[in-house]
Amino acid sequence: MEILIAPPGTFLPGESRLLEYGEARIALFNVGGAVHAVDDLCPHRQGPLSEGYLDGFLITCPWHGWQFDVRDGRCDTVSRHKVRTYAVRLDETGVYVTVPDPPPAAPRT
């Protein structure tokens, strides 16, 4: 399922955003006009990557300094770790991110 993140011209290079969708927290980063989306929670101590420092394609977790490449989720600090990435589409109508379908609701008893 695609979700509109921003209308055209409102998510500028260097900006980051947080999308909360169901249980998902997705951090979005505009790097030079290309938007990338990754899980917001750092696997080290669950720090909020959306609040981190972005330098080129590297986001630094604000809690303990772990770094991740926003293009592929690869951790530059501890190579065996990574964060999930999400597909992003930009067109004349805005910026969209593809999120997993929510789980079905539990049956009522």
Mean pLDDT of 93-97: 95
Q: Per-residue confidence at 105, pLDDT binned at 50, 70, 90?
A: low
Q: 3-state class of 9 per DSSP?
A: coil
Task: Examine residue 6 and state whether it is found in any structural domain, yes or no.
Answer: yes
pLDDT tens for 10-35 read 999 999 999 998 888 999 999 999 99
53-55/88-91 β-pairing: unpaired
- CATH number for the domain including 81? 2.102.10.10
CA dihedral 104, 18, 59, 30 (to 10 degrees): 110
pLDDT at residue 103 tops 70 = no
Can you give the pLDDT at residue 102?
A: 66
Task: Examine residue 78 and state whether it is found in any structural domain, yes or no.
Answer: yes
The count of structural domains within the chain is: 1
Task: Examine residue 53 and state whether it is found in any structural domain, yes or no.
Answer: yes
Which residue range forms the structural domain that includes residue 87? 2-98
pLDDT tens for 49-72 read 999 999 999 999 999 999 999 999
Can you give the pLDDT at residue 106?
A: 61
Task: Examine residue 109 and state whether it is found in any structural domain, yes or no.
Answer: no
